Structure 1
Amino acid sequence: MANLSLYTVRAAVMLDSDGNRLIAKYYDRGQQQIQGYKTLKEQRKFEGELFLKTRKSSSEVIMYDGQTVLFKYVNDVYFYLVGNPEENELLLSSVLNGFVEGVSILLKHNIDKRSLLDNLDMVVLALDEAIDDGIALETDPNVIASNVSKRGTDTIDVSLSNLNEQTLIDAYKQAKERFNLALLR
């Protein structure tokens, strides 16, 4: 029977070249929980076994433990996307490639463990732009990078020196103006 669910992704995992976890998100809403991967210990065991199976593989798609797994190795980082066993590999591949390319754009085409950890906030935001609770939302890397970059400019820069020079009423007016501008966007 064909998979007619929007919930296509069960997990997104990034490991370093030694198989250590950098980022991992497991999605279980709207689908069966990945069998036996509810605790951190079980997830780490799954990730370690997955790393051992894929580190010398030339393929980008494997069936592992009853799951469809797509992976991509860039410099010293492994990107994994885990889906249902009957999931369309092309859809998962487009999500994975879009996410990896989006991260590459955000990190100025310098994907490695150090830059990934230094910019962890942007990488997690990019993952959230591409996949929301197991639903593939975006596959275009330019859109993913653009949406993450926009979020970065929406933050309010409040420095202590700026606060010292303002009265409480001035600070309130400035915050109100920024809030109204954010609502109008």
Structure 2
Amino acid sequence: MQRPEAWPRPHPGEGAAAAQAGGPTPPARTKEPVGPRLQEPSLYTVKAVFILDSDGSRLLAKYYDDTFPSTKEQMVFEKNVFNKTSRTDSEIAFLGGMTIVYKSSIDLFLYVVGTSYENELMLMAVLTCLFESLNHMFRKNVEKRWLLDNMDGAFLVLDEIVDGGVILESDPQQVIQKVNFRADDSGLTEQSVAQVLQSAKDQIKWSILK
């Protein structure tokens, strides 16, 4: 008979069988995680928002963390996203551990990016709010020419929806009201006479177009 020291150690999970056979029960072992740990819920839902033209060139972009720290890395990512999404009818894509929701409008592509574990519905709410807010501000379809002519307003809209990756607002009407309030407030306190005159001309222009 073999000495007890030479007996093979029981395979993990055989403690119950060893106990029934009268042998010593091995101490319980803490189960260690095999894969990556689940991410804790976070308010920082959005990693990036960008708008590209029909050629995949950047028109507007904001990144909210250091996943892509340089402009070069950002634009490579945007090009890869464009190549993956520009010829599909889907609204959701997955690329490089990112969840991407997107929408096309005439000659524009609008994208909202989150991590792989983010709720697509939350990201889609941001995308819908951005599109409808821009549509309301331009008073017609969202297209490249209008976006380039109103880039400052587009950034104001985006800032009202997302701040530092945190979703602030998903109601387009609320966004437009806040943008108008900020514009009116800056006009009263900071604009020069020339800027006020230009603002008045713009208002006349919008009333004619409307």
TM bucket (normalised to shorter chain) is 0.7 to 0.9
Equivalenced residue count is 155
Match of 2:61 among 5, 21, 24: 24
| Aligned-residue offset at 1:158 | 3.1
* Aligned residue in 1 for 2:113: 82
Larger radius of gyration: 2
The one-letter amino acid paired with 1:50 is V
Task: Spell out the pairing of 1:131-170 with structure 2 (5 A cutoff).
Answer: 131-154=162-185, 155-156=187-188, 157-159=191-193
Instruction: Return the offset for 1:3.
Output: 4.3
Deviation string 1:57-107 (CA, Å, 9 cap, x unpaired) is: 111001111100000101111100000110000011011101110111011
* Structure 2 counterpart of 1:48, from 64, 73, 79: 79
Q: What RMSD over aligned residues (CA atoms) do the two structures have, in Å? A: 1.5
Q: Which amino acid aligns with 2:134?
A: V
Q: 3-state DSSP class of the match of 1:9? A: coil
Q: TM-score, normalised by structure 2?
A: 0.71
Q: 1:117 to 1:99 in 2, by over 3 A?
A: same
Match of 1:62 among 65, 90, 93: 93
1:34-77 residue CA offsets vs partner (Å, 9 max, x unmatched): 2xx21111111111111111000111001111100000101111
Q: Which aligned segments of 4 or more residues in structure 1 are displaced greater than 6 angstroms? A: none
Give the drift of 1:110. Answer: 2.8
CA gap of 1:3–1:89, structure 2 versus 1, over 3 A, is farther
**Residue aligning to 1:95:** 126
Query: Which runs of 5 or more residues in structure 1 are unaligned?
Result: 163-185
Output the CA distance in 2 between the equivalents of 1:3 and 1:97: 26
Q: Pick the aligned partner of 1:121 from 152, 160, 167.
A: 152
Retained in 1: the 8 A contact 2:101–2:112?
Answer: yes
Work out whether residues 47 and 63 of structure 2, in 8 Å CA contact, stay in contact via their aligned partners in 1: yes
Offset from partner CA, 1:145-179 (integer Å, 9 cap, x none): 1111121211134326x9xxxxxxxxxxxxxxxxx
- State the match for 1:182 in structure 2: none
Structure with the bigger RCO (C-alpha within 8 Å, sep 6+) is 1
User: What's the % identity of the aligned pairs?
Assistant: 41
Structure 2: gaps of 5 or more residues: 1-37, 197-210
**CA distance, structure 2, for counterparts of residue 27 and residue 159 of structure 1:** 36
Distance 1:3-1:114 versus aligned 2 partners, 3 A rule: farther
